[in-house]
Amino acid sequence: MPFCRPLRCLSLILAAAIGLFAALKSASAGEYNEVLSIGDKAPDWKDLPGVDGKKHSLADLSDKKVVVLVFTCVSCPTAADYEDRIQELTRHYAASKAAVAIVAVSVNRVEEDSLASLTKRAAEKGFLFTYIYDESQKIARDYGAIFTPEFFVLDRERKVAYMGAMDDATDPQAVKATYVRDAVDAVLAGTTPPVTETIARGCRVRYARDRRRE
């Protein structure tokens, strides 16, 4: 190895380390997601309880061409504002020979977002989509979900085709870009979504903090 002065060597080592970190990050995460990137295999989930009293797994949806997974809750005003839009999305694809599955999941551990609360909410509003709960919060960590609501569109091979916001405006009257619907239509048509990643907006997922052990 060629001789270099201590400070010069240190700067070269730091530059190499920074470059390696950036390369690893870009290879393993998206622009706005620290865990997944577009084209990654979607993390699995198994036996999560739903508001219908049944257990739900990703494998149950093997006959679906597209799965839309949305992290949401009851306690977040933004998430509540999007409930009708998620319901309409479900209705829109109901006639497509059941090719699309819409799955909502809450992971917050506050009482307002408990399974009992979700069940009550689903009954009151007549939700047509599957609504599940994960007290362990593993599914949210696996997907790198940060906000409620936050959407992931999974293709036939269960790879991530789109992730981020449902559309470009919280006010439904101001929406101009329907990211999730455009992504679903593209996947069904066998093409790449026009937009594959956006930053979601809403309330933060209420992750439980890991307590330090002495």
DSSP characters for 119-137? HHHHHHHT--SEEEE-TT-
Specify the pLDDT at position 61.
97
d(CA 96, CA 184): 11
Question: Per-residue pLDDT tens for 10-20?
Answer: 444 444 443 43
Residue 171 pLDDT more than 50? yes
Specify the pLDDT at position 98.
78
CA dihedral 152, 155, 160, 162 (to 10 degrees): -50
Dihedral over Cα of 126, 60, 190, 151: its sign: positive
Specify the pLDDT at position 88.
97
Give the number of other Cβ atoms within 10 Å of residue 22's Cβ: 10
Residue 191, classed as helix, strand or coil, is coil
Residue 179 pLDDT more than 70? yes
Question: Per-residue pLDDT tens for 79-130?
Answer: 999 999 999 999 999 866 679 999 999 999 999 999 999 999 999 999 999 9
Residue 169 pLDDT more than 50? yes
Specify the pLDDT at position 25.
41
Contact 82, 90 (CB under 8 A): no
Measured in degrees and rounded to the nearest 5, phi and psi for residue 37 equal -130, 165
Is residue 182 exposed (0-12), middle (13-18) or buried (19+ Cβ within 10 Å)? middle
Residue 98 tokens, joined? 């059941």
Long-range pairs for 183-190 at CB < 8 Å and ≥24 separation?
A: 183/153, 184/66, 184/68, 184/93, 184/100, 184/153, 186/161, 187/65, 187/66, 187/153, 187/155, 187/156, 187/161, 188/65, 188/66, 188/96, 188/99, 188/100
pTM of the shown model: 0.85
